[in-house]
Amino acid sequence: MANKNEVATQKSFSVALTEKLDSVSEALPKDFNKARFVQNALSLMNDNPDLAKFGREQVLAGLMKGAYLGLDFYSKECYLIPYGSKLNYQTDYRGEMKLAKKYSIRPIKNIYSEIVREGDGFDTGVQNNQRYVNFHPLPFNSGKVIGAFAVVEYEDGGIGVETMSVAELETTRKKSKASNSMAWKEFTTMMYRKTVIRRLCKYIERDFESAEQLSIYDSEMEIETDVREIAKQEIEENANTEPFVIDTEAEVVSDLM
């Protein structure tokens, strides 16, 4: 346990996060709300105290990836997901849709993805040189998943559609080094929706605000280490795994008013 002097000299978590954000302010989105991000990050940590055991540096590094993209952890646009002794950043399908709408060169009216189950009505094709989608899900359908689709509706009236059968989704999963991760095991349909959104977004031309945004967006698509490999390495890793205390009273609350 750290002695009183060490605790006294340790910067509070909110101050450390605020300083990191200040140091890269020019690379953050123009509409980035620093005070709200810090406040939501504190709420996230207080609601998930186990994250602190991964150490301050890992937590801050993960939070900063969301900050560069302008995504909110507390609104579940992105996540910090534990794998062995590592803490990994991952964008949720909600975050994928937000980024597509915000940075698409061709203005987007709406973008969404859906799961198709046995018994649902689903049809897509081309009519009069225009792509169409008809989806009529059964109410409260808990049937077997047979696929997923994503749609982007542009403000000029055009649409784009991407469809994937469950076989294609599972093939994508198997190719992922994170195929055995908690996200795929416990939130399979969420990952299906993210996968088909991801494929659709490949055809959406975007213009990010900074090189940092583009780099993070391109690099975080899949968690690159299999959870089993992380478990094997856990004994060998000692870097920054000392838990830290989250300050419950953020200094930035007044900035939100």
- Report, in this order, helix, strand and coil percent for the chain, each rounded to 5: 45, 20, 35
Residue at 27 is within a domain: yes
Distance from C-alpha of 86 to C-alpha of 36, rounded to nearest angstrom: 26
pLDDT given at position 143: 96
Distance from C-alpha of 54 to C-alpha of 43, rounded to nearest angstrom: 17
Does 171 share its domain with 116? yes
- Interval 23-33: pLDDT, tens: 999 999 999 99
pLDDT given at position 247: 61
Distance from C-alpha of 89 to C-alpha of 92, rounded to nearest angstrom: 10
Does 167 share its domain with 252? no
Residue at 213 is within a domain: no
Q: For residue 136, which phi and psi values (nearest 5 degrees)?
A: -130, 85
Longest CA–CA span in the chain (Å) reads 74
Does 73 share its domain with 163? no
Residue at 140 is within a domain: yes
Q: Which domain holds residue 174?
A: 106-204
- Interval 21-79: pLDDT, tens: 999 999 999 999 999 999 999 999 999 999 999 999 999 999 999 999 999 999 999 99
pLDDT given at position 221: 54
Residue at 99 is within a domain: no
The radius of gyration of the chain's CA atoms, rounded to the nearest angstrom, is 21
Judge whether 72 and 66 are in contact, CB under 8 Å.
yes
Specify which residues 136 forms β-bridges with: 121
Does 48 share its domain with 133? no
Distance from C-alpha of 50 to C-alpha of 82, rounded to nearest angstrom: 9
Judge whether 14 and 38 are in contact, CB under 8 Å.
yes
**HSE-up of 197 (CA within 13 Å, CB side)?**
24
How many domains does the chain divide into? 2
pLDDT given at position 245: 66
Specify which residues 80 forms β-bridges with: 89
Does 64 share its domain with 131? no
Distance from C-alpha of 167 to C-alpha of 171, rounded to nearest angstrom: 6
Q: What is the mean pLDDT of each run of 10 residues along the chain (257 residues)?
A: 44 90 95 95 92 93 96 92 84 91 96 97 92 95 97 95 96 82 84 92 91 84 40 40 59 39
Residue at 120 is within a domain: yes
